[in-house]
A and B are shown apart, each in its own frame.
Chain A
Amino acid sequence: MIKEITNFEEFNAVANQGKVLVDVYSKTCGPCKMLGFVLADLEKDMPDAVILKVDFDRNKEIVEKYDVASYPTILLLQDGEEVKRLKGLQQKPVLKQLLEA
């Protein structure tokens, strides 16, 4: 499931439960758009995985909480705690492995 986050409350309601992949992106960034492509493909293989898309411009609290400085940044959260961070466009097999681990 891919969900576009619009505010901090909505993020907290979903991000603090179990394993969650967060894509912090910028609308103007090409690699971010193509990561969207990879994530949409990943969703087909793993429909139950929770993937949150966070537009950095609309979600300052999330960007500050996790101190994200470059886009795209992928955060793997376990019950809200960051367990892994990847910067830049990522390979689909790498993301799949992250969610399966």
Chain B
Amino acid sequence: MALYDVVIIGAGPAGMTAAIYAARANMSVLLLEKLAPGGQIINTHEIQNYTGVGTINGAELAYKMFEHTQELQVTFDYGTVKDIKEEGNIKIITCEEEKIFEAKTVILATGTIPRRLGVENEDRFAGENISWCAICDGAYYRDKDVVVIGGGNSAVEEAIYLASLANSVKVVTLFDLTADPVSCDELRALPNVTIYEFYNIEGFTGVEKLQGVRIKSTQTQEELELTCDGVFEYIGLKPSTEAFAALGILDEQGYIKVNSRMETSVAGIYGAGDVVTKELRQVVTACSDGAVAAQVASKYIKTI
């Protein structure tokens, strides 16, 4: 079995940047991904704050980053990691597909996945009429009625996008809108948008197809049912770190604890990107983490 200098888990901006820096440091690199390169950015229609790029489609940026790794001959493979064990200075990475890899260092860059509400009938309609991707499924709701759940930046931006297609958009949020004020003003000014602030989601209704959303005011206890054809949920993200719990490197929310060198408490294991405890989760900060992690890993392998 090949022993890699570094196995990078997750091929989003953090993982792909780590791969580029590691390859340029002459390390042997395996980039592992369970789906396809890109991570969360593939769900983003336009990225407008990645320095020097102007405006770019998320999937297009993902492709460009991946091509960059391939120019440097980074080995790419598909795998869903279920376990990492240490044997001396070697890390053994086991995938659900029963693939096993060995590495001197591991960079964990598995990112986040959308958080779910966990209410009645959510699982039943998930992926059909409950969606987490307005640019994927928005077109289906042309001239129909949709509900957007959440009040942060993603919820407000996607609601603005959906309002350009749908007949009506109802935005339901547990508190008030917390997105940046310019976007909130833009949303409030749209004629086909209604905002329900301080409402809790009680569940989804419908027999074969989704019919509506049951909501309850946290201030007046008033209960309403909003009829709709589709729902888009944007209530935040959670880290993809279940496979790493046994390493003892996670914080209370499940994010990976790292220092400024992206080191976890386990020697030779690093965290990078949205999956680590940090202030700002953006493409540019993810890339920065990846570069640091790869650089520190390359120094580490010279010491073992």
Contacts and interface: CB of A to CB of B under 8 A. Distances in A.
Interface in B131-175: 131, 133, 135-137, 139-140
B135 A91 contact: no
B63 A87 contact: no
* Residue with the highest number of chain A CB atoms closer than 10 Å, among B36, B59, B80, B139: B36
B43 interface: yes
Contacts of B44: 30
Nearest to A86: B127
Interface in A38-96: 38, 56-57, 69-72, 87-93
B245 to A, nearest CB: 22
Contacts of B69: none
Interface in B41-97: 41-45, 57-60, 62-63, 66, 78, 80, 97
B38 interface: yes
A71 B137 contact: yes
A35 interface: yes
A87 B132 CA distance: 12
A28 B140 contact: no
Contact of B36 (A37, A56, A69, A93): A37
A87 B127 contact: yes
Nearest to A26: B139
Interface in B1-55: 34-38, 41-45
B140 A31 contact: no
Nearest to B95: A93
B128 interface: yes
A70 B35 contact: no
A89 B139 CA distance: 17
B205 interface: no
B136 A33 contact: no
B135 A28 contact: yes
A1 interface: no
A89 B135 CA distance: 14
A34 interface: yes
Top 5 nearest A-B pairs (CB, nearest first) are A30-B42, A34-B36, A30-B59, A33-B59, A29-B136
25 contacts: A26-B139, A28-B139, A29-B133, A30-B42, A30-B135, A30-B136, A31-B42, A31-B43, A31-B136, A33-B42, A33-B60, A34-B36, A34-B38, A34-B42, A35-B36, A37-B36, A37-B66, A56-B139, A69-B128, A70-B127, A71-B139, A88-B127, A89-B35, A93-B78, A93-B97
Given A71-B139, A89-B42, 15 more contacts: A28-B139, A30-B42, A33-B42, A33-B60, A34-B59, A69-B128, A69-B140, A70-B136, A70-B137, A70-B140, A71-B137, A71-B140, A72-B136, A87-B127, A93-B97
Interface of A: 26, 28-35, 37-38, 56-57, 69-72, 87-93
